[in-house]
């Protein structure tokens, strides 16, 4: 399972995921400033699950732009430490192996909501 971390995804979380064996591409390093639809197309092309705090990806998922998308994880947290998103992902992936594949996953403070995207 490969991930693509959006520009708004904390570097501390990215580094923690990498140290735990996750494969994570960094938008800030490769595609900085590119439009959301471009990032989504790159994630689809590279078979990556997109990690983001950008609600626009939730809106894009309701349109036909996500055909072939491996998954999108949209964090909607109010107060959190920079490592919190990574810790949540690590825990969820430990509990259920393919929890993010083919799903739009919304992660809130105290709940998770998913819907299939393909």
Nearest CA to 55 among 75, 32, 80?
Answer: 75
Q: How far apart are CA 12 and CA 81, in angstroms?
A: 9
Which of 85 and 59 is assigned the larger pLDDT?
85
Is 3.40.50 the CATH classification of the domain at 2-116? yes
Distance between CA atoms of 73 and 6, rounded to whole angstroms? 10
pLDDT of residue 4 exceeding 80, the answer is: yes
> What is the model's pTM?
0.91
What pLDDT was estimated at residue 63? 65
Structure tokens at 29: 């390093």
The domain ranges of the chain are 2-116
User: Which pLDDT score is estimated for 1?
Assistant: 79
Beta bridge partner(s), residue 4: 25, 50
pLDDT 10s digits, 31-78: 888 888 888 889 989 999 999 999 888 777 666 566 788 999 999 999
Give the phi and the psi of residue 74 in degrees, each rounded to 5. Answer: -110, 110
**Predicted pLDDT at 118:** 67
* pLDDT surpasses 90 at 88: yes
Question: What's the CA angle centered on 9, arms 65 and 94, to 5 degrees?
Answer: 90
Write down the pLDDT at residue 65: 61
């Amino acid at each position: 399972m490969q991930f693509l971390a959006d520009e708004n995804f904390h570097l501390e979380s990215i580094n923690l995921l990498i140290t735990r064996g996750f494969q994570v591409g960094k938008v800030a390093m490769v595609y900085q400033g590119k439009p959301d639809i471009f990032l989504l197309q790159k994630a689809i092309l590279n078979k990556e699950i997109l990690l983001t705090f950008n609600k626009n990806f939730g809106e894009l998922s309701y349109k036909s732009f996500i055909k072939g998308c491996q998954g999108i994880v949209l964090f909607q947290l109010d107060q959190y430490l920079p490592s919190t998103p990574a810790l949540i992902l690590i825990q969820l992936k430990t509990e259920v192996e393919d929890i993010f594949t083919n799903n739009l996953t919304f992660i809130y403070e105290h709940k998770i909501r998913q819907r299939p995207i393909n």
